[in-house]
Amino acid sequence: MGKRFEGIFPALLTPFLGGAEGGEVDYPGFRENISKYNAFDLAGYVIGGSNGECVLVSNDETAQLVETAKSVAAPGRLVIAGTAQESTRLTIDFTKRLAGCGADAALIRPPSYYKARMNREALRRHFLAVADASPIPVIVYNIPQNTGITIEPGLVVELAGHPRIAGLKESLGSLAYLGEIIRQLPENFSYLTGSGFVVLPALLAGASGAILAVANAAPGLCLEIYRLFREGKIEEAQRRQLDLIPLNKAAMETYGIPGLKYAMDVQGFRGGAVRLPLLPIDEKGKSEIRTLIEGQVHYSPIIDEDKKR
């Protein structure tokens, strides 16, 4: 059996309508974004991840976002939903709920409020219990920059042996981490980089694809890197990777989610407002983002004809 999770998945942002505290979810805008992304040969969509402001969105809102995505996503596009909660029981319950909303897989970060107690055994038992109860495949989510917890490479290898733990999203973009475990993973296990800085190096080292926030604002460029890699045109892919880095740095490091939302707005997508305590991007940031977008090579939608049928 081949890897199920291959290609480029945008980690979808959640557009809000604005207001003093960040307003209501803009569901029509979210639907419009996916309709536009359907023109690109994306592998699917990730809802309820870190860049979707998952900790600022209620479970009911997340469920509605998953239902919306499932209703508008092009045929064959996978919908991956973040289902992590702070207890194992609540994570299981929410995973089952979002599976019922149409999610094809669950993306699960480690519980982190009691991070001092989240040793290897606690994490092992948590992920195995969730996988045992989950009706859909589980993708383990390593994002220590937000959780303060690094899932040890050896634990990833152990978890990969579970029949419903199908992949890993590794968001540090650590090639050392990838190199430590990639040869030990089952053939059908999907290693997905979460960093726009290392899409091509990760693919060359054995990753099956990427879950990228920057793909919200540069879907064509992210797909071009993947396409050129698959075609063996590595020098061209390297040039496209270098093209992606300035926007990825501005949107993901310098200005964060507000910057990425503005990059979407500039290009006719619905980035929308952020929710407090996140603050909107300032005018200096807007100017820098506009300059980057104007100087970026824009790629037309890349459609796989077989997927259209």
Which of 92, 74, 34, 81 has its CA nearest to residue 57?
Answer: 81
Helix, strand, coil share (%) of the chain residues, nearest 5: 50, 15, 35
Buried/exposed 5-27: b ≥16 CB within 10 Å, e otherwise = bbbbbbbbbbbbeeeeebeebbb
User: Is the CB of residue 134 less than 8 Å from the CB of residue 162?
Assistant: no
Considering the candidates 70, 169, 261, 286, report the single residue annotated as catalytic: 169
Contact 9, 44 (CB under 8 A): yes
Note if 169 is an active site residue.
Answer: yes
Count of CB atoms situated within 10 Å of the CB of 174: 18
Q: Tokens 């064509």, residue?
A: 220
Report the C-alpha gap between 108 and 24 in whole angstroms: 25
CA distances from 216 to 26, 46, 166, 169, 236 (A): 16, 11, 24, 17, 22
- Cα 166 from Cα 162, distance rounded (Å): 8
Contact assessment for residue 304 and residue 41, using Cβ atoms and an 8 Å cutoff: yes
Report in angstroms the alpha-carbon separations of 233 from 41, 202, 229: 18, 15, 6
Longest dimension (CA), the chain: 50
The answer to whether 106 and 95 have CB atoms below 8 angstroms apart is yes
Q: At what angle do helices 234-249 and 219-230 cross, to 10 degrees?
A: 160
3-state secondary structure of 9: strand
Q: Which residues are catalytic?
A: 169
